[in-house]
């Protein structure tokens, strides 16, 4: 089947539905560099240099490039041929367009997705010193509602781990899937970090993993469970027989060929790691006959954090293992549960208020539990007795009418 243009942008085909000769569909590309006019192209180039000067990582720069391209093409769809022309009306139309099914993908992007588009546009406007459009774009506040976090239960994770150990022993061609799962159980790296994992970062003698995270440059890691050491050791011996296997845990030379690639890789891709992890999940059967939830590979990170919090692990430990800051742990994970540590602090605060004692020796039934009532102090009793005498004397002098009589009488001389 031939490629078919599915969308006509102002500068020509913008959405192409590619299909191979065997009928299998390929990824659709919706935005192209050649669509940008001179004004947007020059502005984008300055924006990318500005992001590079700010120290953005290669992955962040890649996202910046895409975000600016998306914003430029969509703005041109709105009839905005120059970033300097952005005003409140154009910005509002852009937001409505991208967050509707009328956009190029024919599927509305989320508030979170629009925020990323907006952040890329802000970089572009800052780089080109376009203060008026920048003020308009920055004025918009995204209303992002955090979804409930999804993660595997301890039972699901244990079942997948048992399956991974079984695969390593019984399915030689699938051993890489078991290794990928083990690494994600130990320290739950992002999939790109797993793909480029080096043996130099795994110390089997000191039973630990420490590696540089691509996203933020932090040094996450954790202690390796003893039961995994023999398996990792055997896998290391296996990989050294392949090109690049003495350096990388998942050398590209071991991966099954899946078509041509533009760049010769030394290690597998993040997509390959996701496929490895999905194989373990999809072939795992729980004791009740069900399968673990179908979640993305990133949910290993959520699972580690949530299970650690439930087991009263400290946020600094979770942050170290995942390579996240304490603020990230508290913002994205701690808010979803009240663990035993929180309940213990609550018990300290409420100590004595919820205690129940037997009702024996009172007018209440002996089987009844009641809240303890603190007895009055001697001073409190004296004050109460004084007030009683004062009241009785006033009644004696003034009658039951109370305060209608003259003052200055009574035992207390009041």
Average pLDDT rounded to a whole number, residues 314-328: 90
Examine the domain organization and report whether 236 and 296 are in the same domain. yes
Specify if 363 maps to a domain.
no
Q: Name the pTM for this structure.
A: 0.63
Q: How far apart are the first and last CA of the chain?
A: 107
Give 208's strand partners: 203, 223
Q: Give the model's pLDDT for residue 381.
A: 75
Chain CA centroid to CA 378, Å: 59
Examine the domain organization and report whether 221 and 294 are in the same domain. yes
The 8-class DSSP code of residue 397 comes to: H
Specify if 372 maps to a domain.
no
Q: Which two three-digit tokens encode residue 64? A: 């910046």
> Is pLDDT above 50 for 18?
no
Examine the domain organization and report whether 172 and 282 are in the same domain. yes
Examine the domain organization and report whether 124 and 161 are in the same domain. no
Of residues 229 and 388, more confidence is placed in 229
Backbone angles phi, psi at 29, to 5 degrees: -105, 125
Backbone angles phi, psi at 268, to 5 degrees: -70, 175
The 8-class DSSP code of residue 9 comes to: E
Specify if 8 maps to a domain.
yes
Nearest to 12 by CA among 76, 66, 85: 76
Do 192 and 270 form a contact (C-beta atoms < 8 A)? Answer: yes
Specify if 239 maps to a domain.
yes
Examine the domain organization and report whether 209 and 242 are in the same domain. yes
Examine the domain organization and report whether 122 and 186 are in the same domain. no
Specify if 208 maps to a domain.
yes
Average pLDDT rounded to a whole number, residues 103-129: 93
Q: Give the model's pLDDT for residue 261.
A: 52
Specify if 387 maps to a domain.
yes
Examine the domain organization and report whether 114 and 81 are in the same domain. yes
Examine the domain organization and report whether 189 and 312 are in the same domain. yes
Q: What is the pLDDT of residues 24-43, one digit of tens each?
A: 334 468 899 999 999 999 99
How many distinct structural domains can be found in the chain? 3
CA-CA distance, 353 to 331, in Å (whole number)? 31
Q: What confidence tier does 141 reach under pLDDT thresholds 50, 70, 90?
A: confident
409 burial class (0-12, 13-18, 19+ CB within 10 angstroms)? middle
Q: What is the pLDDT of residues 241-295, one digit of tens each?
A: 999 999 999 999 998 655 555 567 899 999 999 999 999 999 999 999 999 999 9
- Between helix 131-139 and helix 88-98 the angle, nearest 10°, is 50
Dihedral angle sign, alpha carbons of residues 284, 288, 293, 294: positive
Q: Which two three-digit tokens encode residue 153? A: 């239960």
Q: Give the model's pLDDT for residue 405.
A: 45
Specify if 360 maps to a domain.
no
Domain boundary among 313, 342, 371: 342
Examine the domain organization and report whether 230 and 335 are in the same domain. yes
Average pLDDT rounded to a whole number, residues 151-175: 97
Average pLDDT rounded to a whole number, residues 201-209: 96
Examine the domain organization and report whether 45 and 184 are in the same domain. no
Q: Give the model's pLDDT for residue 12.
A: 39
Specify if 148 maps to a domain.
no
Mean per-residue pLDDT over the chain, rounded? 83
CA-CA distance, 371 to 362, in Å (whole number)? 12
Backbone angles phi, psi at 155, to 5 degrees: -65, -40
CATH of the domain at 295: 1.10.443.10
Examine the domain organization and report whether 203 and 105 are in the same domain. no
Domain boundary among 71, 106, 139: 139
> Is pLDDT above 90 for 223?
yes
Radius of gyration over every alpha carbon of the chain, rounded to an integer in angstroms: 34
> Is pLDDT above 50 for 6?
no
Domain boundary among 325, 342, 359: 342
State which residues form the domain around 402: 379-414
CA-CA distance, 122 to 135, in Å (whole number)? 9
Examine the domain organization and report whether 322 and 188 are in the same domain. yes
């Amino acid at each position: 089947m031939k490629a078919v243009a599915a969308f006509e942008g102002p500068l020509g085909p913008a959405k192409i539905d590619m299909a191979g000769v065997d009928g299998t569909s390929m990824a659709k590309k919706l935005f192209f560099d050649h669509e940008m006019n001179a004004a947007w192209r020059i502005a984008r180039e300055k924006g990318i240099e500005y992001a590079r000067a700010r120290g953005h990582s290669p992955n962040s720069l890649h996202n910046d490039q895409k975000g600016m391209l998306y914003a430029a093409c969509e703005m041109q769809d709105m009839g905005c041929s120059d970033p300097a022309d952005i005003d409140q009306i154009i910005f509002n139309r852009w937001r409505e367009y991208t967050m509707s099914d009328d956009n190029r993908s024919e599927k509305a992007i989320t508030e979170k997705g629009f925020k990323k588009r907006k952040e890329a546009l802000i970089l572009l406007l800052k780089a080109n010193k376009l203060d008026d459009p920048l003020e308009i774009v920055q004025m918009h506040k995204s209303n992002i509602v955090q979804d409930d976090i999804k993660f595997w239960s301890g039972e699901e994770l244990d079942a997948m781990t048992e399956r991974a150990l079984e695969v390593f022993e019984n399915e030689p061609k699938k051993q890489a899937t078991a290794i990928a799962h083990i690494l994600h159980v130990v320290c739950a790296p992002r999939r790109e970090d797993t793909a480029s994992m080096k043996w130099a970062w795994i110390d089997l003698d000191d039973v630990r993993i420490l590696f540089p995270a691509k996203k933020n440059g932090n040094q996450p890691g954790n202690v390796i469970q003893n039961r995994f050491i023999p398996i990792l050791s055997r896998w290391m011996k296996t990989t050294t027989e392949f090109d690049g296997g003495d350096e990388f845990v998942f050398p590209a030379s071991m991966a099954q060929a899946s078509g041509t690639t533009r760049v010769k890789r030394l290690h597998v891709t993040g997509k390959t790691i996701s496929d490895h992890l999905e194989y373990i999940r999809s072939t795992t059967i729980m004791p009740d006959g069900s399968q673990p939830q179908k979640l993305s590979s990133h949910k290993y990170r959520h699972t580690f954090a949530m299970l650690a919090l439930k087991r009263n692990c400290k946020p600094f430990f979770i942050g170290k293992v995942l390579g996240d800051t304490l603020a990230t742990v508290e913002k994205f994970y701690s808010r979803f549960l009240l663990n035993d540590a929180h309940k213990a602090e609550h018990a300290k605060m409420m100590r004595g208020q919820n205690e129940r004692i037997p009702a024996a020796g009172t007018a209440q039934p002996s089987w009844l539990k009641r809240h303890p009532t603190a007895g009055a102090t001697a001073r409190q009793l004296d004050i109460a007795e004084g007030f009683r005498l004062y009241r009785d004397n006033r009644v004696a002098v003034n009658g039951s009418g109370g305060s209608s009589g003259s003052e200055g009488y009574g035992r207390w001389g009041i």
